[in-house]
Amino acid sequence: MRVHRGSMAYDLGRMLEALSVLLFASLLIPFVWQEWWAIPTLICSGILPLGLGYFLTHRFEHSGDSGRLHGMMIAASGWFLVALFGSLPFFLLAWTAQLDPGFLGVPQRYTTPGTQAFGTLSVFRHPINGVFESMSGFTGTGLTMAVHENTLPRTLQWWRSFIEWVGGVGVIVLTTAILARPGSGSLTLYESEARSEKIHPSIVTTVRTIWWIFLLFTFFSILLLWLAGMPIWDSINHAMTGLATGGFSITDGSIGTYNSGIIDFTLIPIMLLGSIAFPVHYLILQGDLKNFYRDLQTRWVFIFFGAGTIVLTAVLFRQGLYQTATVSIAGVTLHGTLATLIQSFRYGLFQFVSAASCTGFQTANSLGSEWAPQAQLTVAAGMVVGAAAGSTVGGIKLIRLLTLMKGTLFRIRGVFYPSSAIRTFRLDGRALSGTEASQEFEEAAIITVLWLAFLAIAAFVLIVMLPIGPGPDAYTVENVLFEVASAQGNVGLSTGITGPWMPSLTKVLFIFNMWIGRLEIIPVLVLLRSLFVYRGVYHR
């Protein structure tokens, strides 16, 4: 099957034009916060993708659709290009910020566990750090090169949150919404971005409805956090990254900076909103509340989150990490076992929901050093599985694990039936024939096996490259598994491995893991295979 290069170039141009719209829209931030030196930076960052996008869309305006192979390749290459051009504000702002002598982000420095010191903003003068941050943002991961996030300029804080907010729904979904393409191209691209469920028969109407739902929930989340006591600028940024299950923060200690149980529990429903599929949100907003328990994925989101919270709470309580904690409720201060249990539940609930929803907010800053290996692996399991397909989360997705479990039982039970028996496989309210069931089972198995295989490969490379074992500057195997699961699951929780002190090869590895994790591996493999193995698949 051949791929029409003109059609690919046209769609790539549309995605770059959409990126330029985001950059120009962000010009409002430096005007509000009077970061005048950031204005030419954003303009230059927007002109480059706009110019290239304009050239591609007009040069190949009359190209046709190319089908599923084209969709996968454009999704993989488009996401990479958007992350590449989206890194320009990080790189350019790191240089232009020095034009403002009053800006504190440049002179302030921090020291890593090693011997090298980095400027808070100057780390982004290295292009690979900017690409890492951009890929982490657009894929909704949240791993960061910025250790002191509170000293970043407001413009850059906004850009990090904004790209996560957009990336949570999807770059292609955004492009389809504002630059709708006639014909079957929009549907092909929509499905290539790891989405299949539609709200309306028209894919353009579907993605626009998704964005209206997302905007409504964003304003609702901002209001909730502000009422919980979070400052308005913080509320805006954390509502955007929380709902998009991205996890970027504008504080050094993520949500743990506020040390507020009210804010912790306020973020739980926001992260849950991002974990439920958009078609279910649409039906619930239409008044069909039965989907909270009737929809298979939504029902299992609550079951999985609840079970994981119980396990993690038990592990933390048994570890006794919060034995010295005191808890104040309605003016009454609690001590001892009850206080330990409440604190264990608070951290267990927040961190497991943050992990399984692939958000990546942290309230416990000692995940890598103080939490027991059992606690780290429990959180890692949540990151690997994820929540509902069709939402903003990463991971393998609950529906695939449910398909594998139900499919396995279906195959085992088939041994006890005669070969002439006609059996029906039921999944999420659908009755599937044997052939259809086999197809669903195989697709779920392929994605799961590939996901775990790349997880294992990345973990092996990291174990080889990092100091593993006892010692203050060494990491454990569970630290490595946790970090790789966080990168590939697009989560953002960290045990301290990720940072500007990482070797460049490790950064490239994590960029690749974030990329394949967001697109569920196959589109990236198709692109790489087409580029390096079958160069003859292209034609004009």
Q: Is 431 left (phi over 0), alpha (psi -120 to 50) or beta?
A: beta
Q: What is the DSSP letter of 365?
A: T
Share of the chain above pLDDT 90, in %: 39
Q: Residue 183: what pLDDT?
A: 44
Q: Residue 144: what pLDDT?
A: 92
Q: Residue 118: what pLDDT?
A: 45
On whether residue 221 sits in a domain, the answer given is no
Nearest to 45 by CA among 115, 119, 124, 118: 124
φ, ψ at 425 (rounded to 5°): -100, 125
On whether residue 154 sits in a domain, the answer given is yes
The whole model's pTM is what? 0.89
Q: Residue 206: what pLDDT?
A: 74
Q: Residue 368: what pLDDT?
A: 64
The H or E element spanning position 4 is strand 3-4
On whether residue 490 sits in a domain, the answer given is no
Q: Residue 440: what pLDDT?
A: 80
Domain hosting residue 536, numbered range = 1-191+519-540
Please name the residues in contact with 270: beta carbons below 8 A apart, sequence gap of 6 or more: 221, 224, 225, 239, 242, 243
Do the beta carbons of residue 113 and residue 472 sit within 8 Å? Answer: yes
Exposed e or buried b for every residue in 484-511, given b needs 16+ CB within 10 A? bbbbbbbbbbbbebbbbbbeeebbebbb
On whether residue 493 sits in a domain, the answer given is no
On whether residue 508 sits in a domain, the answer given is no
On whether residue 382 sits in a domain, the answer given is no
On whether residue 4 sits in a domain, the answer given is yes
Domain count along the chain: 1
Please name the residues in contact with 330: beta carbons below 8 A apart, sequence gap of 6 or more: none
Q: Residue 334: what pLDDT?
A: 66
Residues of the chain short of pLDDT 50, as ranges, are 1, 104-118, 177-180, 182-190, 192-194, 536, 539-540
Q: Residue 201: what pLDDT?
A: 56
On whether residue 148 sits in a domain, the answer given is yes
Q: Residue 331: what pLDDT?
A: 61
